[in-house]
Structure 1
């Protein structure tokens, strides 16, 4: 069955005219005559059987239907333009579209990507934030780095590292330089993370403690938000040290207690099964897994924090 879709020219003319609320300005922008723009919009109105503009001696104004349609058309034209530019950029290039959990991407992965680019200049890695699993078939992503249990149907998983969060806070929040005991920490504001709602309860329970208000306190979605709240003396946060290396080295954040929360979940690189043979992805996978292993070994062999 033939689709009921106006011509691209008609939609482009309509979007420009709607944006300017002027056929003359639209014609100037598109390097067309005013008559040509008028004919395209008249044809569009005839197809839709809807008046998109109200004409008067003072010019044209969008009708209510025209205003609603113009918003939808503008969004669709923007999407087509983005997809077109994306295809144009891909010509002759090896591009990996990688979904990554935000703080891991900015604090751990990005500082190391320069070495990958230097070693493999023929491969481009684009990063987009995603915090939860999704259907690869419904997205442009080639792979994903996420935190979980590797239970992601239709994918091949590669373990990178555990979180092993520690309680950290601003040094100004502590009364002295001695390491507080867990009950002392329980008396401080506990900063919560939205995606780890039971983290503090698990931390206290692993020390044999039951704390009444272990799940109360302000909640933040990202570790970067938790770190900023802790920096501003708003409370104590459970954060993996590798995500706040700079803050710990500078002393703007300190470890409030050295007991680590062990987790059965970890960071994984997930590759859809249909893409496991991709040469670019194999190169990136090997580099990423190697760097993660090197980092884990370095943490195990040192006690910087």
Structure 2
């Protein structure tokens, strides 16, 4: 249910308040919005009168936002951004149905997107929108139909479809290749680490019979950035097969160990099971089941 009209200010008023908070003055906001100074001031007065809360105070010839005005402007910014994103998605899809997916950057681009090409050929009436996410988020509040999840089935309240396991292999620039030193030889080289995989190297060494603790080295937030650093000779990276093999083909990286190791956890497509999936998501689920 939508709130009563008296609690819903106009878009023009919210844009004026957001701009003043963001750029710091009415004059700068007027320039940012391509409006006159008086037009921005008028929208602020209308908004303040409608809400019945002091949003700004006169300060000489100018004005400054109160803390209430600042807080409201920041909340309004999120709503305006959500509305803009929804409008952009609608405009991009046109009369087509749309499917909004949150993806893991590397797996999404190297494993999922090539498969989506075939899906798009089968269903040209569906526009698939992709957004990358690394930190936890809420599907419903961000408007996603489904998301890629890695790990265990620990995303509460979600339906799961297994997509793929992950095979990892140490990779490095040819100049850093260990010289016949076995597993321990990797410890003599700089090791690169991924923020959302703490302990990945320790686990890898343990699986190969060596206890290695408190390992240090450069830290990255994405596999792609870590792979590039490894290709430039910064250290050895533990990379998934769908990324490593591209670098092997280009001869930018070499395996620092001859075998892949299956990582703990799995890639899943997850979605809210509270209602029957819409047609675009249902078609994608059927497509992925058949293509596994």
Q: Which band: TM-score by shorter chain? A: 0.7 to 0.9
Judge conservation of contact 2:178–2:256 (CA < 8 Å) in 1: no
Q: What residue ranges of structure 2 are gaps of 5+ in the alignment?
A: none
Query: Matched residue of 1:72: which SS?
Result: helix
* C-alpha deviation, 1:63, in angstroms: 2.1
Question: Is residue 52 of structure 1 aligned with residue 56 of structure 2?
Answer: yes
Count of aligned pairs between the two proteins: 283
2:255 match: 255
Deviation at 1:71, TM superposition (A): 4.3
CA distance in 2, matches of 1:16, 1:271: 33
Worse-matched range after superposition: 142-151 or 7-16: 7-16
Partners of 1:165 and 1:86 in 2: how far apart? Answer: 37
Partners of 1:165 and 1:238 within 8 A in 2: yes
Given the two structures, how large is their TM-score scaled by the length of structure 1?
Answer: 0.76
Tell me the equivalent position of 2:235: 235
Q: 2:10 aligns with which of 1, 8, 14?
A: 8
Q: Helix, strand or coil: the match of 2:216?
A: coil
SS of the residue corresponding to residue 147 of structure 2 reads strand
Q: The residue matched to 2:262 in structure 1 has which SS? A: coil
The aligned counterpart of 1:297 is none
Are 1:157 and 2:160 an aligned pair?
A: yes
Cα distance change of structure 1 residues 124 and 208 upon mapping to structure 2, 3 Å threshold: same
Query: Aligned equivalents of 1:33 and 1:216: distance in 2?
Result: 55
Tell me how far apart the structure 2 counterparts of residues 160 and 255 of structure 1 sit (CA, whole Å). Answer: 25
Q: Verify: 1:195 aligned to 2:196, yes or no.
A: yes
Mark the structure with the bigger radius of gyration: 1
C-alpha distance in 2, partners of 1:240/1:287? Answer: 24
Cα deviation for residue 52 of structure 1 reads 3.2
Q: Which runs of 5+ in 1 are unaligned?
A: 294-305
1:21 aligns with 2:22: no
Matches within 5 A, 1:132-171: 134-171=137-174
Provide the rounded CA distance (Å) in 1 between the counterparts of 2:13 and 2:256: 60
Distance 1:195 1:87, change over 3 A: closer
- Assess, with a 3 A threshold, how the Cα gap between structure 1 residues 189 and 125 changes in structure 2: closer, same or farther: same
Q: Which residue of the partner structure matches residue 81 of structure 2?
A: 79
Q: Distance in 2 between matches of 1:272 and 1:263?
A: 26
Scaled by the length of structure 2, what TM-score is found? 0.78
1:88 CA displacement: 4.4
- With over 3 angstroms needed to count, the CA separation of the structure-2 counterparts of 1:165 and 1:54, relative to structure 1, is same
> Could you say if the C-alpha distance between residues 277 and 81 of structure 1 is closer, same or farther in structure 2, counting changes exceeding 3 Å?
closer
RMSD: 3.7
Measured at CA, do residues 3 and 135 of structure 1 come closer, stay the same or move farther in structure 2, by a change above 3 Å? Answer: same
Q: CA contact under 8 A between 1:192 and 1:220: conserved in structure 2?
A: yes
Go from structure 1 to structure 2 and tell me whether the alpha carbon gap of 1:78 and 1:233 turns closer, same or farther (over 3 Å shift): same
Matches of 2:266 and 2:108, distance apart in 1: 15
Per-residue deviation at 1:10?
6.5
Within 2, Cα distance between the matches of 1:160 and 1:237? 24
Q: Does 1:284 align with 2:287?
A: no
